[in-house]
A and B are shown apart, each in its own frame.
Chain A
Amino acid sequence: MTTTQYDTIIIGAGHNGLVAAAYLAKQGKKVLVLERRSIVGGSVVTESFAEGPRRGEDDFSVDSINTGGTLRPDIIKDLKLASHGLSVDSAPQPFITLLADGSPLTLDAESIKRISEKDAARFPEFVRFMDKAAQIMDVTYATIMPRLPMNFGIREGYGLLEWGLELRLAGRKDMLNFIRALPMTAQELVEEYFESEIVKAAICAVAIHGSTMGPMGAGTGYTLIHNWMNRGGLAHKNVGKAGEITSALANAVKAFGGEIRTEAEVASILVENQIANGVVLANGEEISADRILSSADPKHTLLKLVGAQDLPPEFVWHTQSIKMRGSVAKMHLHTNRSHGIPEGTVVLAPSIKYLEKAYDATKYGEISEKPYLEVTTSGNVVSIHFQFAPYALRNSDWKVESGKVAELAIKTLEEYFPALHASRITHHIITPQDMESTYGLTEGDLNHGQLMLDQFLFMRPIPGWSNHKTPIDNLYLCGSGVHGGGGISGAAGRNVVRALK
């Protein structure tokens, strides 16, 4: 058992943990990042699923969970990530939906014309509003939320003032529409702009992506804006380069003098008199620090690593009540490149009802018979994001279902891209349970807690604790489960550093 004194220990080397670590290391703090896996990245990671040592052109390597992504520009600049290996491509990428006849339709003003002149004419205004809404959302996520309903101080109040100003500067109409859009259903929102079902459904697919909600659910207006903000539009950017983000961050941490240890699973956080002062690793090693930041999800951090015994009962109750409910499965297909799938983000979302019905299955703990699929390609690998595949299956278990889900996903996709069949070499499936056991996402929830209106703003992760703090002194949350989190923005990891002061 060794003991080394660190200023800050950061649990988890996901993007938020690394962002926080890099900022702190840059300030000259002695930081140690502890990562359970043998690689850094968390759910922002590019891995090879090849069996045996296959490398080079034919490598089976792909963004495992999150597809590509872009950190906030200020983070990239502050941490000089370009010099640490991050190549950011902000060029717009095609977002393609599949028509009933199997042909692809790219969502841009020009291509939509062949479906509807009206929709094509409305498209630029929709994009303008969404960009504006995303900008307001970005400022919202950069504002540390006060601990409502408790009293909040002047500093928090100042942040809110900035946020209010941004809303106001957005112009009266856009501000109102932004506020109005949040609780709306994605269906209602898109219906205000478009008439053709295929266009509306394709946009609704982005709204429900990663969330356990259907496009007819209240609050999918919010998730649409959230995903739009993180993607910078409808389509993913930097596909195949998720790992580059986190490896550049890891490089930055080290360059600033921080330390990262992989295969160092934190088993518990040491707490004495409600003050955190270190961690215990799975191998029994104790490491002390003045401060602990956890980028693991709030449920795991508080109920597993701290333990309910050391926390106030109401706080425990709220933490237990955080809705996780992951329902995404990922399939990565290793092909010979002749799969026939176009580049960009391709969605199978023929109608809003189709998406809603796909979601309905989760209510009954079942897997969608006709799933919403989002497909991206990177080199020879085809990735399928499959919704909905609930973490908790009512009448079966994932040992039985994983093979069936892979088969269903592939079969469904092959109906649109017959060339895929002959092109396939092998595949790798990541079930919601794998997301928990391999990637540390409790209940397979990509966002460390559903992005819902009651788990949003000052209610994220739980009401009264929206400022990264916990009832344990010197223990802070900095993962996707706190305000600013969800998606690859890095906002939560950046905000926590300000909350420490």
Chain B
Amino acid sequence: MLNLNLKTTPFHERTSALCQPQNWRKWAGYFVVGSYEHVLDREYWAIRNSAALIDVSPLIKYVIQGKDAAALLHRVTTRDIHKMKVGQVAYTGWCDEEGKLIDDGTVSRLEERTFRLTAAEPNLRWLTMNAVGMDVSITEVTDDVAALSFQGPNTRKVLNKVTEKPVDELKYFRLMTNKINGADVTISRTGYTGDLGYEIWMDAKDALKVWDALMEAGSDYGITPVGILAMDMARVEAGLFMLEVDYTSTTHAWIESQKSSPFELGLDWTVALDKPGYFVGRRALEKEKREGSAWKMVGLAVDWVGMEKLFGKVGLPPQIPGSAIRASLPVMVGNVQVGYASTSTWSPLLKTYIALAHLQKPYYEVGTDVRMEITVEHHRQHAPAKVVKLPFYEPEWKKK
């Protein structure tokens, strides 16, 4: 019989024992912990102040191997894959022929002819369609490879206590093979929080061994299992967007205007128009680069004083959301809607109500004054906000 139940991750034995509020979220067909506690504060602050241990096993993972592995990824993604060195990780989006995003993820060059690609959604058909005539194998390893995102300023110290080789020399967006508690792991200096952090990739059967070692070593450093809701707040502060929340994959879009190009999402730096040869969407991206983008994803910082005024009218102090809001909020200039915010959150660290917003030309320029919809005691109001540069928060230790 067809099994329609969600799967559990290799860490489920540990995470389920710790998840007090039974706050589970589904992610790519798996159950993952939304939050381990009833409020997110402790988990959020672990990301920013100590060491957050986040189960990210549901990330879809492909191993791409063979003589033409680099050529395939060079063709599919917008990055210059041939320039990547072994041990390098590259964040990238990939587009359809019209230059609109299908998905985004990371490419890790594990060996000269072996890559790992992560994705938010299944991409096997697309990868296979692009591999015609190539000597390459594409294997999905989502179930076989468990992954932990270990994020926060203390993570390096904790890792050094348990890894066979120190991770001090591991640079931003590089990876290394290592051992934790006897288990072979790959550690990449990557993450989804914009903080110092690592992602640890291991065989699913070693998952608990690695979890236990980290939890034990991290106890003096404030290690905290963290769910994806707190991570969602941190990723907005880091200016990182999410598929199907902040943009729609071309594979799901019903109409053209739902699609987004990498330029529209601020991924200009990932589009290597100077790379040699064909890649999917090249023509359309070249054209957009020439002509400029109609939209752009920017940061919005909502003005606290402006919020106070609106709430003050009904006799309330400003109300702030307790977690990131994944709802579309209109953004106005005058009486005209010029865009929308796709994720908004209170930033406990910046003490600011912030949002990832998509604005039309020319309103996406930094410093533009706009107004964003907020709800004041059941009434829709527009609070003053300013377009700011992303990311909202970037600690000096992120890349150091």
Query: Does B associate with A?
Result: yes
Interfacial residues, chain A to chain B (CB-CB below 8 A) = 271, 273-274, 303, 307-317, 320
Least CB distance, B84 to chain A, in whole angstroms: 18
The dominant DSSP class at the A interface is: helix
Q: Are B130 and A313 in contact (CB under 8 A)?
A: yes
Q: B134: which A residues are within 8 A, CB to CB?
A: 308-309
- Complex CA gap A315/B97 in Å reads 10
Question: Whose C-beta in chain B lies nearest to the C-beta of A304?
Answer: B133
Chain B: residues with Cβ within 8 Å of the partner, total of 14
Least CB distance, B130 to chain A, in whole angstroms: 5
B156 interface residue (CB < 8 Å to A): no
- Contact partner of B278 (CB less than 8 A), chosen from A274, A317, A320, is A274
Query: Of residues B75, B133, B277, B278, which shows the largest number of chain A Cβ atoms within 10 Å of its Cβ?
Result: B278
Proximity string of chain B (95-132) to chain A, C-beta cutoff 8 Å, 1 when within and 0 when not:
00100000000000000000000000000001001101
Q: Are B133 and A303 in contact (CB under 8 A)?
A: yes
- Contact partner of B97 (CB less than 8 A), chosen from A303, A312, A320, is A312
Q: B97: which A residues are within 8 A, CB to CB?
A: 312-315
Complex A-B: 21 CB contacts under 8 Å: A271-B278, A273-B278, A274-B278, A274-B282, A303-B132, A307-B133, A308-B132, A308-B133, A308-B134, A309-B75, A309-B133, A309-B278, A310-B277, A310-B278, A312-B97, A312-B280, A313-B129, A313-B280, A317-B129, A317-B132, A320-B132
Least CB distance, B301 to chain A, in whole angstroms: 40
- Complex CA gap A312/B283 in Å reads 10
Closest 7 pairs between A and B when the two form their complex, measured CB to CB: A308-B132, A308-B133, A312-B97, A313-B129, A310-B278, A313-B130, A316-B132
B46 interface residue (CB < 8 Å to A): no
- Complex CA gap A271/B276 in Å reads 12
- Contact partner of B283 (CB less than 8 A), chosen from A274, A308, A315, A320, is A274
Query: Of residues B126, B129, B132, which shows the largest number of chain A Cβ atoms within 10 Å of its Cβ?
Result: B132
- Complex CA gap A315/B281 in Å reads 13
Beyond A273-B282, A315-B97, A317-B129, list 13 extra A-B contacts (CB 8 Å): A273-B278, A274-B282, A308-B133, A308-B134, A310-B278, A312-B280, A313-B97, A313-B126, A313-B280, A314-B97, A316-B129, A317-B132, A320-B132
- Complex CA gap A307/B283 in Å reads 18
Least CB distance, B290 to chain A, in whole angstroms: 14
Proximity string of chain B (129-145) to chain A, C-beta cutoff 8 Å, 1 when within and 0 when not:
11011100000000000
- Complex CA gap A54/B259 in Å reads 69
Question: Whose C-beta in chain B lies nearest to the C-beta of A310?
Answer: B278
- Complex CA gap A307/B280 in Å reads 14
- Complex CA gap A313/B71 in Å reads 14
Q: A308: which B residues are within 8 A, CB to CB?
A: 132-134
Which B68-100 residues sit within 8 Å CB-CB of chain A? 71, 75, 97
Query: Of residues A273, A309, A315, which shows the largest number of chain B Cβ atoms within 10 Å of its Cβ?
Result: A309
Q: B133: which A residues are within 8 A, CB to CB?
A: 303, 307-309
Question: Whose C-beta in chain B lies nearest to the C-beta of A311?
Answer: B278
Q: B277: which A residues are within 8 A, CB to CB?
A: 309-310
- Complex CA gap A313/B279 in Å reads 10
- Complex CA gap A273/B280 in Å reads 12
Least CB distance, B261 to chain A, in whole angstroms: 16
- Complex CA gap A314/B282 in Å reads 14
- Complex CA gap A310/B97 in Å reads 12
Q: B126: which A residues are within 8 A, CB to CB?
A: 313
Least CB distance, A307 to chain B, in whole angstroms: 6
Which B279-312 residues sit within 8 Å CB-CB of chain A? 280, 282-283
- Complex CA gap A311/B134 in Å reads 13
Q: B75: which A residues are within 8 A, CB to CB?
A: 309
Q: B129: which A residues are within 8 A, CB to CB?
A: 313-314, 316-317
- Complex CA gap A311/B282 in Å reads 11
Proximity string of chain B (210-247) to chain A, C-beta cutoff 8 Å, 1 when within and 0 when not:
00000000000000000000000000000000000000
- Complex CA gap A316/B282 in Å reads 16
- Complex CA gap A308/B278 in Å reads 10
Question: Whose C-beta in chain A lies nearest to the C-beta of B75?
Answer: A309
- Complex CA gap A271/B282 in Å reads 14
Which B346-365 residues sit within 8 Å CB-CB of chain A? none
Least CB distance, B49 to chain A, in whole angstroms: 46
Least CB distance, A308 to chain B, in whole angstroms: 4
- Complex CA gap A303/B133 in Å reads 8
- Complex CA gap A271/B71 in Å reads 16
- Complex CA gap A151/B1 in Å reads 47
- Complex CA gap A312/B126 in Å reads 11
- Complex CA gap A312/B285 in Å reads 14
Q: A307: which B residues are within 8 A, CB to CB?
A: 133
Least CB distance, B400 to chain A, in whole angstroms: 39
- Complex CA gap A303/B75 in Å reads 16
- Complex CA gap A184/B315 in Å reads 77
Least CB distance, B248 to chain A, in whole angstroms: 19
Q: B132: which A residues are within 8 A, CB to CB?
A: 303, 308, 313, 316-317, 320
- Complex CA gap A215/B278 in Å reads 44
Question: Whose C-beta in chain B lies nearest to the C-beta of A312?
Answer: B97
Least CB distance, B300 to chain A, in whole angstroms: 36
Least CB distance, B82 to chain A, in whole angstroms: 13
- Complex CA gap A274/B282 in Å reads 9
Least CB distance, B32 to chain A, in whole angstroms: 32
Q: A316: which B residues are within 8 A, CB to CB?
A: 129, 132
Least CB distance, B289 to chain A, in whole angstroms: 14
- Complex CA gap A354/B97 in Å reads 48
Least CB distance, A438 to chain B, in whole angstroms: 24
Question: Whose C-beta in chain A lies nearest to the C-beta of B129?
Answer: A313
- Complex CA gap A56/B52 in Å reads 92
Least CB distance, B376 to chain A, in whole angstroms: 46
- Complex CA gap A316/B129 in Å reads 8
